[in-house]
């Protein structure tokens, strides 16, 4: 600043430097010319100019500083907003994840309950079918009564056949039977009587073991089978 001021003074007042006394030999004497009124005014003008320049620069930099401050505040506010927004989003995401986990647990429980309900329905259906099948079966008392009646009838028929056979044997003993055909018939009657006794014994055994070895349906079928066989044997014996 003072260099510029000296230069300005030299340019503005060339006679000041020209009026300086020449340097003498020996020790030089510093020359300090006295400032004139014009030089003092020029210095004041320069100071005023410097103030105006500084003020102008300050005035030019003030909006920039304000804008920079506003920008810094805006950036800081944006950072805070983004931080708050991201925090809210993260919190919401965590809540969504927890909700999804809860829904998954509930869905697994619902699947287990649905599978259990399906099994229960299947068991109920099987029970209903079993009850319907049991309802179509005859009662135990009915089967026992049928078996007893069939057994009594077989015993009665066996007794009649035995009496008839004994009567025939006595008749044969009372007469000399030499006819081979008659003897063969008598042998067939004895063999059929043995088969009849064997079938009656099997039927009696079936009636005794029916409660532990056979079902009601099997008992009824067995009674019908033995009854048919006994009827066939009786027909052959009578013939």
pLDDT, tens only, 125-181: 777 777 776 666 666 777 777 777 777 777 777 677 677 667 666 665 665 555 666
The answer on pLDDT for 17 being more than 60 is no
How much is the average pLDDT of 201-225? 62
The answer on pLDDT for 118 being more than 70 is yes
Spatial distance between the Cα atoms of 139 and 136, rounded to a whole number of angstroms: 9
120 pLDDT band (50/70/90 cuts)? confident
User: Could you give the percent of the chain with pLDDT greater than 70?
Assistant: 42
189 pLDDT band (50/70/90 cuts)? low
Q: Please report the pLDDT score of residue 136 as a whole number.
A: 67
Spatial distance between the Cα atoms of 159 and 149, rounded to a whole number of angstroms: 15
Q: Which residue do the tokens 């079993």 mark?
A: 130
Domain extent listing, the chain:
138-238
Q: Please report the pLDDT score of residue 7 as a whole number.
A: 46
Q: Determine contact, residues 192/233, Cβ cutoff 8 Å.
A: yes
SS3 70: helix
Percent composition of the chain: helix, strand, coil (DSSP 3-state, to 5): 85, 0, 15
Q: Which residue do the tokens 């003074």 mark?
A: 9
Helices and strands (H, E) in the chain, number of each type: 6, 0
Cβ-based neighbours of 151, under 8 Å, separated by 6 or more = 203, 204, 207
How much is the average pLDDT of 51-68? 72
DSSP conformation class of 215: -
Q: Please report the pLDDT score of residue 90 as a whole number.
A: 76
Cα-to-chain-centroid distance, residue 117:
15
Q: Determine contact, residues 138/216, Cβ cutoff 8 Å.
A: yes
Q: Which of 4, 82, 98, 97 minimizes the C-alpha distance to 42?
A: 4
Structure tokens at 227: 């009854």
Q: Which of 12, 1, 6 minimizes the C-alpha distance to 53?
A: 1
Q: Which of 169, 201, 171, 163 minimizes the C-alpha distance to 187?
A: 169
Cα-to-chain-centroid distance, residue 82:
39
pLDDT, tens only, 80-110: 887 777 777 777 788 888 888 888 787 777 6
Q: Which of 142, 133, 157, 132 minimizes the C-alpha distance to 220?
A: 142
Spatial distance between the Cα atoms of 146 and 169, rounded to a whole number of angstroms: 34
The answer on pLDDT for 14 being more than 50 is no
Q: What is the pTM assigned to this prediction?
A: 0.26
């Amino acid at each position: 600043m003072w260099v510029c001021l000296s230069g300005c003074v030299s340019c503005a007042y060339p006679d000041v430097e020209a009026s300086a006394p020449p340097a003498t030999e020996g020790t030089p004497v510093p020359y300090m010319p006295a400032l004139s009124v014009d030089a003092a005014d020029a210095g004041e003008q320069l100071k005023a100019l410097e103030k105006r320049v500084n003020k102008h620069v300050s005035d030019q930099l003030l909006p920039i500083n304000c804008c920079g401050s506003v920008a810094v505040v805006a950036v800081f506010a944006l950072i805070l907003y983004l931080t708050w927004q991201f925090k809210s989003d993260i919190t919401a995401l965590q809540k969504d994840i927890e909700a999804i986990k809860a829904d998954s647990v509930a869905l697994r429980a619902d699947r287990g309950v649905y599978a259990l309900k399906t099994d229960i329905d299947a068991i109920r259906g099987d029970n209903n079918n079993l009850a319907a099948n049991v309802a179509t079966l005859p009662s135990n008392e009915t089967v026992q009564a049928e078996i007893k009646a069939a057994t009594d009838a077989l015993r009665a028929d066996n007794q009649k056949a035995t009496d008839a056979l004994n009567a025939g044997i006595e008749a044969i003993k009372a007469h000399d039977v030499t006819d081979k055909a008659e003897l063969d018939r008598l042998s067939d009657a004895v063999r059929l009587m043995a088969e009849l006794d064997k079938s009656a014994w099997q039927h009696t055994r079936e009636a005794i073991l029916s409660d532990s070895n056979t079902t009601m349906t099997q008992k009824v079928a067995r009674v019908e089978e033995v009854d048919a066989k006994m009827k066939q044997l009786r027909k052959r014996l009578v013939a």
